[in-house]
Amino acid sequence: MQFLKSVFAGLLFALSMPSGTGASDLYRQHKISPKVFIVSMFPPEAQIWHNIPEFNLLAHNITLPGLSPLFPSIHCTPSYEICQLITGEGEINAAATLSALTLSPTFNLTSTYFLLAGIAGISPEIGPTASVTFARFAVQVALQYEFDAREIPANMSTGYLPQGSTSTAATGQFPGDIYGTEVFELNAALRRVAAQFATNATLADSRAAREYRALYAGAPGGLYDNATGSPRVIECDTSTSDVYFSGRRLGEAFANTTRAWTGGKGVYCTSQQEDNASLEVLLRGAVGGLVDFSRIVVMRTGSDFDRPHLGETAQENLFGAEEQGAFEPAVENLYRAGIRVVEGILGDWEGRFERGIRAGNYIGDVLGTLGGKPDFGPQAGNVKRAMKGRSRR
């Protein structure tokens, strides 16, 4: 009820404004205007930012309608320059929480940088656990047709086919039926800047993680050579799936999906459960002038490998994830790398970040919602035709 009262009060105020006063101007008045908003998905990711020497994130606690009942408060620094929330895990929680934030009359997010910072599974083909990754593409890999593993056709290595397919030979193609959330492309220039900031961090590691990573050495053709080094900063891309998957074949299949759906530009390296949902909300907010989609950083740290080494099974890899020894350093590195990004943005706010980092690439979704044509997938006209495809059932 209080939220509705606030909305109606804003509408009445807007009607009373002089002619020529835009809604965006109204929105900016008397709002909390963070420079950086840290988005965490569950408590360990959030708590690593609390009681740190750089800032007091718990100075202000703000409760909004529509936030997760488990995590009903937003935390901000004394100046409100930095804020943070916990969405809750999974796509639905992420979308619901960020919708509540984006539409809240409490905040002005038009100049805010969003740091989506969480842990993820990581491919041993790309990097070691506890590494810090920054994505240009987020791909909703589970938005496909799926056969039960016991009924997979003989000519398929996994049970996944792009939606709209009429043949099992369509594996690895772009979907024929489009929902619009399959792929998001972020500001590549901002990603490079954020990754450069993060390289100034001393990354955490553990003895258990190093010992486990060593088990990936010696794979044929050096397949997993990248898995055995020390944690590092990597620019590579992320996959979204509510299903927590494990196994070499699924990892390879979703790497192929990432390449196919990004026109060969995407490099799959991490698996998580929220980012495409979060990005869809922020994109819709950008359409309404509430956020700037060019100011989003997706940072994921590798808490476990998405597939087993040659001496174990996919089941052992999944149920033994805690034994990989990377959960604690991965969480720690959210802070160690992330604080460098936050400080970098704040430290050069007036000189560089207030006006924004110009994106030299396309940014947005597969539909071209924010303008321009995606440099991945079919052209805009084909996307629109694909959306007229057959129904769900």
- Domain total for the chain? 1
What are the tens digits of pLDDT across the range 113-136? Answer: 999 999 999 999 999 999 999 999
Q: How sure is the predictor about 13, in pLDDT bands with cuts at 50, 70 and 90?
A: very low
CATH number assigned to the domain comprising residue 185: 3.40.50.1580
pLDDT at 178: 92
| DSSP letter for each residue of 312-349 | S-HHHHHHTGGGGS-HHHHHHHHHHHHHHHHHHHHHTI
Would the pLDDT of 24 be above 70? no
Residue 321 within a domain: yes
d(CA 298, CA 238): 9
Q: What angle do CA 187, 140, 119 make, to 5 degrees?
A: 75
Average pLDDT, the chain: 90
Would the pLDDT of 16 be above 90? no
Question: Residue 152 burial (CB < 10 Å; 0-12/13-18/19+)?
Answer: middle
pLDDT at 244: 93
What pTM, to 2 d.p., does this model score? 0.90
Q: How sure is the predictor about 355, in pLDDT bands with cuts at 50, 70 and 90?
A: very high
Helices within 68-204 (DSSP H only): 91-102, 188-198
What are the tens digits of pLDDT across the range 190-199? Answer: 999 999 999 9
pLDDT at 170: 80
Residue 253 within a domain: yes
Q: How sure is the predictor about 260, in pLDDT bands with cuts at 50, 70 and 90?
A: very high
Contact at 8 Å (CB) between 144 and 163? yes
The two structure tokens encoding residue 363: 């940014």
Q: Residues for the chain: how many in total?
A: 393
Average pLDDT on 234-262 reads 96
Residue 359 has a CB neighbour count (10 Å cut-off) of 19
Average pLDDT on 337-357 reads 98
What are the tens digits of pLDDT across the range 36-85? Answer: 999 999 999 999 999 999 999 999 999 999 999 999 999 999 999 999 99
Which range among 14-23, 62-71, 170-179, 338-347 shows the weakest confidence by mean pLDDT? Answer: 14-23
Residue 134 within a domain: yes
Residue 160 within a domain: no
What are the tens digits of pLDDT across the range 262-301? Answer: 999 999 999 999 999 999 999 999 999 999 999 999 999 9
Measured CA to CA in angstroms, residue 99 lies from 13, 64, 67 at distances of: 23, 11, 9
d(CA 111, CA 266): 27
Beta bridge partners of 42: none
d(CA 227, CA 283): 34
Contact at 8 Å (CB) between 238 and 275? yes
Q: Which residues contact 64 (CB under 8 A, 6 or more apart)?
A: 3, 72, 74, 100, 101, 104, 106
Residue 242 within a domain: yes
E runs forming strands in 91-136: 113-122, 132-134
Residue 12 within a domain: no
State which amino acid sits at residue 159.
G
Residue 374 within a domain: no
pLDDT > 70 in the chain, percent? 89
Closest CA to 239 of 274, 264, 263, 265: 274
Look up tokens 């997010």; give the residue.
109
Contact at 8 Å (CB) between 26 and 17? yes
Residue 382 within a domain: no
Look up tokens 């907010």; give the residue.
285
Domain span at 324 = 36-143+179-365
The two structure tokens encoding residue 353: 């970040």
Would the pLDDT of 166 be above 80? yes
